[in-house]
Structure 1
Amino acid sequence: MTQKELIRKCKKGNRAAQEELYRTYSAVLFGICLKYSRNKTEAEDNLHDSFMTVYEKIHQFRDKGSFEGWLKRITVNTVLQKYRKKEPLSLVEETPDPDGDPEPGTGTGEELSLGTLLQFVQELPEKYRITFNLYVLDGYSHKEISESLGTSEGTSKSNLARARAILRDRIKNTKINIA
């Protein structure tokens, strides 16, 4: 089935087409959800919510631009909408380990695995994680981020700087695991 046929059938509410749409795009969209989520379970919930929104709004897709790009935008917006609905979070201060031991990792800062880096990003306080992902990984401007999150551009810049500082410290303090 072509992409146009798939979209047309999904617009008519065809369950088999919706299932095919999910199978085709769930891996890509799950990767996006993982970037913005604290853990795999939260990412799975965000993916589910994103597909529910896609099925509900697919009639709004007018065949202008990339369908996958439209799906990605829906996914990011769904995750951000959930974030905005949460109660405001207070600033989270990093507390050092009482034993002075850095977190164990998988290598030096230059040799960290992608999984470890993703874990570090996922462990950022929510405001910092979302701002970091939008700016660094998705290429949003501070103006776009502030509009999406309902904050000022200065807050966006501050959250990005704090996220980078936390990540820099985590990477710097990662122990080398020698097998």
Structure 2
Amino acid sequence: MTGSGHSRFASQHDVELCGLAATGERRAFGELVRRHGSAVRGVLRRMGAQGAEADDVAQDAFLTAFERISEFRGEGTFAGWVKKIAARIYLRRLHRDRRLGAMTPETVADEAPHNDADAAIDLDGALQALAAAERLCVTMCFGAGLSHGEAAEALNLPLGTVKSHVKRGLEKLRTRLAPDDGAALEGRRDNG
């Protein structure tokens, strides 16, 4: 695994790797997949994709990114760019499967077990406690990096609806992830 090809690409910046991949250097793109594959799958899981589906969509996203690598201009991060591609592919699958139509604000995912003695922040567990539409909108806007407008267009929802889902979802996340006394959260707001 530590062959000369791997070490050659491991030290290069994502933008350099994208340039090499645009010239047909598949090993450079392989390094990008190695670096960012788990983050892309993580965003998809937070959006609601389960196991193999997250893997399949991530693979499709990287294939699309490879085919369109010359379109990446380095204005943002490669990771952000491929996450947006993955989110859009996943949303197309949701539309195709007509699962998105069943998502209403009242549809709430099963809550993950919560242990008050565990002080560690469990973002995945907190996201699972959101309504499906809230989880999807929050993850698209903050995990995949889509704007509210891009998320609204992708979901075929009014912009105000997406903004409402994001606002409610973030409020629920703040409440769930805040320490019992709320002091740490207030400190973060004052510093931000």
Q: If the TM-score is normalised by the length of the shorter chain, which range does it land in? A: 0.5 to 0.7
Deviation at 1:146, TM superposition (A): 1.8
Residue 63 of structure 2 is matched in structure 1 by 52
Which moves more between the two structures, 157-166 or 52-61? 157-166
Q: Which residue of 83, 86, 90 maps to 2:102? A: 90
Residue 127 of structure 2 is matched in structure 1 by 121
| Runs of at least 5 residues in structure 2 that lack an aligned partner in the other structure | 1-8, 178-192
Quickly say closer, same or farther: Cα 1:12–1:140, change in 2 above 3 A.
closer
Q: Aligned equivalents of 1:110 and 1:78: distance in 2?
A: 36
* 1:6-27 residue CA offsets vs partner (Å, 9 max, x unmatched): 2233223333223222112213
Alignment of 1:40 onto 2:39: no
Identity %: 28
Residue 89 of structure 2 is matched in structure 1 by 78
Which moves more between the two structures, 51-60 or 62-71? 62-71
Quickly say closer, same or farther: Cα 1:47–1:122, change in 2 above 3 A.
farther
Deviation at 1:61, TM superposition (A): 1.4
Q: Which residue of 102, 108, 124 maps to 2:116? A: 108
- Equivalent residues in 2 for 1:134-173, closer than 5 Å: 134-135=140-141, 142-157=148-163, 159-160=165-166
SS of the equivalent of 1:21 reads: helix
Aligned residues: 163
Q: Comparing both chains, which one has the higher relative contact order based on Cα–Cα distances under 8 Å and sequence gaps of 6 or more?
A: 1
Q: Aligned equivalents of 1:111 and 1:140: distance in 2?
A: 30
Q: Aligned equivalents of 2:25 and 2:145: distance in 1?
A: 35
| Runs of at least 5 residues in structure 1 that lack an aligned partner in the other structure | 96-101, 172-179
Q: Aligned equivalents of 1:32 and 1:21: distance in 2?
A: 16
Runs of 4+ in 1 over 6 A off after TM superposition: 164-168
SS of the equivalent of 1:89 reads: helix
Q: Normalising to structure 2: TM-score of the pair?
A: 0.61
